Amino acid sequence: MGGWKMDRATAERFVTAWCANWCRVDIDAVLAHFADHAQMRSPLALELTGSPVVTGVENIRAYWRQAYGHIESADLKILSWSWDDTFARLTVWWQLGDTRASEFMDFDDAGRVVRSEAFYGK
């Protein structure tokens, strides 16, 4: 996708689709936006895999299926989001039940997520 450029409108569409995909727990649809070599960092990954970092889209898929594959739908709510042009970073603040989180996603020049990190709280 030469010349791809995320802007605020593109980021807003991404957040809307990302949330809808997670509400359906459509892991494959979420991962369609990830680069093959992407990294995901999460406290839950540490708990489930023994490492806070999961590398590679297929490993992330296996991790998310282990973590969320038993859930058919989720009432994920977007609290806020921001796009940073300098870092090509999208930060999303979301809530699911009592869990509140912020998650950032860094994008490559092709518009794929290359790094994602989630931070949880109550």
Domain count, the chain: 1
CATH of the domain at 49: 3.10.450.50
Is 2 inside a domain boundary? no
Domain that holds residue 77: 8-121
Residue 112 lies in a domain: yes
> Is 91 domain-assigned?
yes
Give dist(CA 68, CA 27) in Å, integer.
9
With respect to residue 50, please indicate whether it lies within any of the assigned structural domains: yes
In the numeric block, the tokens 């992330």 are attached to: 60
Q: What is the dihedral of CA 68, 79, 41, 67, to 10 degrees?
A: -10
Is 1 a domain residue?
Answer: no
Q: Which of 3-12, 16-25, 42-51, 62-71 has the lowest mean pLDDT?
A: 3-12
For residue 3, being part of any structural domain is answered with no
Please check whether residue 53 lies inside any domain of the structure: yes
Q: Which range has the worst mean pLDDT, 26-30, 36-40, 66-70, 112-116?
A: 66-70
Does 93 reside within a domain? yes
Quick: pLDDT tens for 3-36.
567 788 999 999 999 999 999 999 999 999 999 9
Of the candidates 81, 78, 79, 89, the residue with the CA atom closest to the CA atom of residue 6: 89
Q: Say if residue 106's pLDDT is above 70.
A: yes
Beta bridge partner(s), residue 95:
77, 100
